Amino acid sequence: MRVLWNEIKKIFTWKTMLLLLLINSLLYFFMIEFDIKYFPNGSEVYSYNIGVGMVEKYGATMDDDEFSDFEKVYEETVEETNRYLQSREDFVAEGLDTVEKFHAYDWWNPSQEARDLRDDVFFGNKTDLFWDLQERERLIEFYNFRKTIPEVLTDNQRDRLIELIAEEKFGVYTEIVIQNFKTFITHVGVAILFSVVLVISPTILKDRSRGILTLQYTSKKGRNLFKTKLLAGYISTFTIITGLLTVYLGLYSLNNTSMFFKVRVNTFIGNESWYDPTFFQFIMLCVAAIYLIGFIFVTLSMSFSNVVPNMVSLIGIQIPFIVGFLIIGLNRLLPNMILIWSPKWLPPLSYGSMIIVSSIIIYCLVKREKKMDVLM
């Protein structure tokens, strides 16, 4: 245990902690801060407020009767908006004294007066009525098309949509909450991936460059030390990921989305999925995926660290793997891993393959260490 503890201490030096702070500070301000500071962003505040009201009033699911009640609230909002328009002489003079006339107006070719009136209620002395009305109309429109199945689908995708329709699981809740989390967790995944790779990568290379491994190979216990280094790397990776997730998810809690935790992912608009976890369960699934991705890339990093001659080579050989994963794999294997628009087999096959490859790499490295010639 003392040797293991010493190996862990060699990883968590003050330079390492400073590097972690620098990486995450930069990535937070360039990527993650926007997902926290500006949620809901702009007109999304009306989507968010209506969504919160729906969850508080109807719960985590909505049946036809409850949606009928939602439509009654919309009608009441229309009546209130009509009264507002009719109280404005400028709207009455322009012939825009009802919501129906407002919608029917040719806004592609508006008069200057009509354009000014529209800008006034939306952006000037704005009233929440029009933004509220617009969002409720959008939600009702999605609900009216809830049983529509797109033509360009695979057989499996079509079968899944038919299954969801039969179970009456439709997209009725605003999508901004889950889309915000998906963007947030993607950026967090990038930050954590860079953190663990840059911190753990030099672990074995440092001892090789100092000639320490040559001394270790002269004894049986020294050769087994490689497994201790691997274990120290994995423990450190777990510690880093856990610490960063604690910080980032703590920041995410500022978005105040806990009221949506019991809502099923399939009831968010445009989020039809192969499985049907709650929003909270989906968050936990993404957390598990980040741990898995972190351990897989740390395995690659430590294996490269065991064979490359210097730090420049170590960084260079990892760039194609990391960049390729960020471009091709990250979205498919983290935020969108259960969406029906991706093949159902892709995430389990990808993760399974990476785990198998990582296990083979570890096995080969351990076997190689036992047979390593001291003169090499």
pLDDT digits (tens, 9 = 90+) for 254-298: 999 999 999 999 999 988 999 999 999 999 999 999 999 999 999
pLDDT of residue 201: 81
Same domain for 359 and 236: yes
Q: Is the pLDDT of residue 223 over 60?
A: no
CB-based contacts of 210, cutoff 8 Å, min separation 6: none
pLDDT of residue 82: 92
Same domain for 326 and 187: yes
Same domain for 276 and 140: no
Same domain for 222 and 114: no
Q: Range with the lowest mean pLDDT among 1-10, 93-102, 211-220, 359-368?
A: 211-220
Same domain for 261 and 142: no
pLDDT of residue 213: 54
CB of 97 within 8 A of CB of 85?
yes
Whether residue 108 lies inside any domain: the answer is yes
Whether residue 58 lies inside any domain: the answer is no
Chosen domain end from 149, 182, 204: 149
CB of 20 within 8 A of CB of 172?
no
Reduced to 3 states (helix: H, G, I; strand: E, B; else coil), residue 133 is helix
Residue 195: both structure tokens together: 């953190």
Same domain for 108 and 246: no
Whether residue 376 lies inside any domain: the answer is no
Same domain for 183 and 299: yes
Whether residue 121 lies inside any domain: the answer is yes
Same domain for 100 and 34: no
Same domain for 26 and 82: no
Same domain for 336 and 188: yes
Whether residue 159 lies inside any domain: the answer is no
Per-residue model confidence as pLDDT tens digits over 131-140: 889 999 999 9
Domain ranges, residue 233: 2-40+173-371
Amino acid letter, residue 5 = W
Residue in 252, 196, 240, 245 with CA at minimum distance from that of residue 34: 252
Per-residue model confidence as pLDDT tens digits over 16-57: 889 899 999 999 999 999 999 988 888 889 999 999 999 999
Domain count, the chain: 2
pLDDT of residue 5: 85
pLDDT of residue 376: 46
Q: Range with the lowest mean pLDDT among 188-197, 211-220, 265-274?
A: 211-220
CA angle 363, 373, 234 (to 5 degrees): 35
Same domain for 184 and 137: no
- Entry pTM: 0.89
pLDDT of residue 347: 93
Whether residue 84 lies inside any domain: the answer is yes
